[in-house]
Amino acid sequence: MSARQSPIGVFDSGVGGLSVLRAMRELMPNESMIYFGDQGHVPYGSRSMVEIQKFSEGITKFLLEQNSKLIVVACNTASAAALKYLRGRFPELSFVGMEPAVKPAAEITKTGKVGVLATPATFQGALYASVVERFGADVELFQHTCPGLVGQIEKGELDSNATRLILEDALLPMLKKNIDTVVLGCTHYPFVIPLIEQIAGGNVRVIDPAPSVARQVKRLLEAGEKMNQTGESLRVRFYTSADTASMESLLPLLLGTDGEVEAVKWKDSQVTL
């Protein structure tokens, strides 16, 4: 298989990275992709940096064994904790990661007040501090970790009452402070945009970073002459480190399509089939 036909490897702690995969599929319909959801370890957001680095390294090795030509760290938490580490461990490999979209938010806000929703590990990481330092100087940022929201989305509860309460808890105090823009700093959260919009109302802009990450992946593949040019239609393989049934049942809801999911196991920090 030539490098052009090799798949793009994509990973997340669970099903959140599917929001990035969805945008990539729209933009690059001829690319093969491998999606890895580490549902055996979700959520990552309250874990230590070292632990997240270890998981991310094991998953990257697995995706490389499957011949991935580029790795998308479709998880803000893993990007915050491990992107730099991964680039050091795999210097030959191209990575694309996530960072909270404070820059576009600072450009579009009119009130100068922006809400940021992300996990504790993302807020604690150096990546977020650097984004705030570079782009957040002229705006007031209101942060919230939305405890329990990742778990609700992993259960497919995109508009249940419990999910609404978590989001109201995060958003209502920010709305009182007059935010007009919300940054989604966790790849699970785009799946609850309709609920966020119901709570926040029509005057608040919600920024989903997935389309711009997809464009960045495309730019890198084009620059490296690695885009698939055979015109074959796209194939996606899905892997989970938990039960296949849960991811399989969520694919139609989150991705609008069925897919076969294979189970993998963790053993001594390695992922095996």
* Angle 268-74-253 from CA coordinates, rounded to 5°: 105
Contacts to ligand DGL by CB under 6 A: 12-14, 16, 42-45, 75-77, 119, 122, 150, 186-188
Specify the 3-state DSSP secondary structure of 137.
coil
Q: Is 146 a catalytic residue?
A: no
Contact in structure between 73 and 98 (CB atoms under 8 Å): yes
**Any idea what the Cα angle at residue 15 is, between residues 11 and 20, rounded to 5°?**
60
Closest separation between CB of residue 82 and ligand DGL, Å? Answer: 12
Catalytically annotated residue among 186, 200, 210, 217: 186
* Shortest distance in whole angstroms from residue 14 CB to ligand DGL: 6
Residue whose CB is less far from ligand DGL, 6 or 34: 34
Residue 84 class from Cβ within 10 Å (0-12 exposed, 13-18 middle, 19+ buried)?
Answer: middle
Judged by beta carbon, residue 3 or residue 253, the one nearer ligand DGL is 253
Please identify, using beta-carbon distances, which residue of 32 and 77 lies nearer to ligand DGL: 77
Which of 46, 249 has the CB closer to ligand DGL? 46
Minimal distance, residue 8 CB to ligand DGL, in Å: 17
- DSSP assignments along 170-228, one per residue: HHHHHHHTT--EEEE-STTGGGGHHHHHHHH-TT-EEE--HHHHHHHHHHHHHHTT-S-
CB of residue 1 to ligand DGL, shortest distance in Å: 29
Determine which one of 74, 75, 141, 210 is catalytic: 75
List active site positions: 75, 186
